[in-house]
Amino acid sequence: MMDFEFSEEIQMIRAQARRFAEERIKPLVDEDEKVHRFRPEIVREMGELGFFGTIIPEEYGGSGLGGFMGAVVISEELARISASWGLPINMQMMGPAYTIYKFGTEEQKQKYIPKLVSGESLGCFAMTEPNIGSDVASMKTTATKTDKGWVVNGQKTWISNAHVANVGLLYAMNDPNAQPRYRGMTAFVFEPGNWPGIDRRPIEDKFGLFCAPTGELFFEDAEFPEDAVLGEVGKGFKIAMTQLDATRLSCAARALGVGQACIELARDYTLERKQFGRYLADFQMVQSDLAEMYAEHEAARMLVYKAAWKRDRGERATFETSTGKYLAAESAVHSANLAMKILGSYGYSTEYPVARFLRDAKSYQIVEGTSNIQKMIISGYVLGRRK
């Protein structure tokens, strides 16, 4: 359905990811979705296959093969089978490993990156708080300097992997009175299950992404060592934005995967089901729905690939990433809606995965910056107020 010209390397990476998704994940999806099961062993298998090493150099356990485009096609292929299983690309590589690689000390890089890349450690990143989502710079969690290191107090919520992660990125205010506020934020590398003063709870009740754990983190006089600071004190906001530029990209790719799954399912169904003596595929209104799904999806795909291509050339791609993420999220939700319409009552059943596609697609309008936040970024560039 797609004739974008990829290098042989990217084609091989895509083929490997598709095989893994089809052979390893697909047989588990229905049962695991029912009981909301997360399987750490799958993360390790992905690590062994090199899925978390495309933008990480060999000296830290990666391969550097495939780059951002590699991460995008892997995310797409995994999410085409299960959106939940697209998440580890972010939780391991695009979030913690890449951000530590960009900003960490040599010691932090050696200590944390190889285990994230191999899947031996599970990663997370914690920005969101009960009262702070989109307005990241207003976060309330504090990190206070002491003689021994740092004391952290506050709460983070809706954190993917919160209660299973061994290592994570935490964003907290070292100077809550700083003006502008973002200058008072610092990033830390922390060990959620290991360091004193950190409590973790899963969020059990959620709308979708049932096989991807989500939880809360509570910091009560949590003690962080001096060398937990990532980058410079007071530069946390910049680090958070750099991280989002990467995690947002693979999130957009996951939305593409879900959109693709919706198109394939709807197409196959219309070629099999007959009403009024004709295949659904022969009704113009159904054809119109399929054409809409495809056109929006393909446009989103090209935008996401453009962003990855720019990143692989060493260029910034905030504008392209936000544009791609916005359209990929919106088109995934639209495609899931139309797929459900096309499948009629079967779409509304659990016999077909359309309800799952719709539930999972909705997450992309929220995570890594909501669709409104993406539109704010996009319009900022269109108006020339962002460069």
Ligand X SMILES: Cc1cc2nc3c(=O)[nH]c(=O)nc-3n(C[C@H](O)[C@H](O)[C@H](O)COP(=O)(O)OP(=O)(O)OC[C@H]3O[C@@H](n4cnc5c(N)ncnc54)[C@H](O)[C@@H]3O)c2cc1C
Binding residues vs ligand X (CB under 6 A): 125-128, 133-134, 158-160, 209, 214, 363, 366-367, 369-370, 372-373
**Exactly one of 216, 320, 330, 368 is catalytic; which is it?**
368
Catalytic: 45?
Answer: no
CB of residue 122 to ligand X, shortest distance in Å: 12
Residues in the chain: 387
Q: Where are the beta strands (DSSP E) in 68-191?
A: 123-126, 142-145, 149-160, 167-173, 185-190
- Report the nearest approach of ligand X to the CB of residue 242 (Å): 15
Q: Where are the beta strands (DSSP E) in the chain?
A: 123-126, 142-145, 149-160, 167-173, 185-190, 198-202, 214-225, 229-230, 274-275, 278-279
Cβ nearer to ligand X, comparing 250 with 270: 250
Cα-based distances in Å from 368 to 67, 263, 326: 20, 24, 10
Nearer to ligand X, 54 or 128 (CB): 128
Output phi, psi for 216, to 5 deg.
-120, 155
Nearer to ligand X, 43 or 127 (CB): 127
* Of residues 217 and 308, the one with the C-beta less far from ligand X: 217
Q: Residue 223 contacts by C-beta under 8 Å, 6 or more apart in sequence? A: 148, 149, 150, 151, 152, 195, 196, 197
Spatial distance between the Cα atoms of 247 and 126, rounded to a whole number of angstroms: 13
Shortest distance, CB of residue 370 to ligand X, whole angstroms? Answer: 3
Report the residue number whose CB is nearest to ligand X.
133
d(CA 75, CA 105): 28
**Choice between 139 and 308, CB closer to ligand X:** 139
Q: What positions carry a catalytic annotation?
A: 368
